Amino acid sequence: MTIEILFEDARWAEAGLDRLAETACRETLAHLGFDPGAHEISLLACDDMRIAGLNASFRGKSAPTNVLSWPTEDLAAEADGDAPLPPEPEIEGAPVELGDIAIAWETCLREAREQGKPFNDHVTHLMVHGCLHLLGYDHVRSRDAALMEGIEVEILAKLGLADPYD
C-alpha cells in the first residue's frame, strides 16, 4: 500500500499519522478482500483552517470538519445498503488510485477529548472511515450508514479498538 502524505501541519508527523494511516487503510482493504499492496491513497495532514476552506469549497460548509474524502471514482451502490462496486485499476497491473483524504488536527484532538477516547484510536477510526468513503461507502442513506458503521466496527475490533458508536 502506498500512502502519499503531505504534512501541512507538523503535529501530524509528530503524532505518527503515517503509521496510523497505513495500519487503518491496510486493514480496511484487507477486511474487504482487496490486496492492500495494489492500492494508493493521497493524504493531506492539515489544520482546521485548511480543512474549513476545503469543506467550504467542496461541500458548501464553511466550518472545519474532522476528515474529508475525494474518491477517484464513484463506486457507490445504487440501492441503499448494497455493497459498492470494487475498485479497478485504470491500467492492468498498475496500482489502483483510490483518491484523497484530508484530516484536521484541531478537530480530531477536540473530538477525542470530548468523547474521552485516546487520540490515536479516534484518528485510526477516522482513517478507516475516510478509506471506506474512497471505496464507495457512505452514510447518507440509512442502510448505507448501517453497512458502513458495521464494517468500521469490525475493522476497529480487529485492530483491538472499541466500537466508536457505542
Is residue 133 annotated as involved in ligand binding?
Answer: yes
Q: Which fold has domain 2-158?
A: Collagenase (Catalytic Domain) (3.40.390)
- Classify strands 39-46 and 2-7 as parallel, antiparallel or unpaired: parallel
Sign for the pseudo-dihedral over CA of 105, 111, 116, 118: negative
The set of long-range contacts for 144-152, using a CB threshold of 8 Å and a minimum separation of 24, is 144/77, 144/80, 144/81, 146/81, 147/81, 147/83, 151/31, 151/32, 152/125, 152/128
Whether 39 has a binding-site annotation, put simply, is no
Domain range annotation of the chain: 2-158
Annotated binding residue at 122? no
Over its C-alpha atoms, the chain yields an Rg (Å, rounded) of 15
Question: pLDDT tens per residue, the chain (166 residues)?
Answer: 899 999 999 999 999 999 999 999 999 999 999 999 999 999 999 999 999 999 999 999 999 999 999 999 999 999 999 999 999 988 988 999 999 999 999 999 999 999 999 999 999 999 999 999 999 999 999 999 999 999 999 999 999 999 999 8
> What are phi and psi for residue 85, nearest 5 degrees?
-70, 150
pTM of this prediction exceeds 0.95: yes
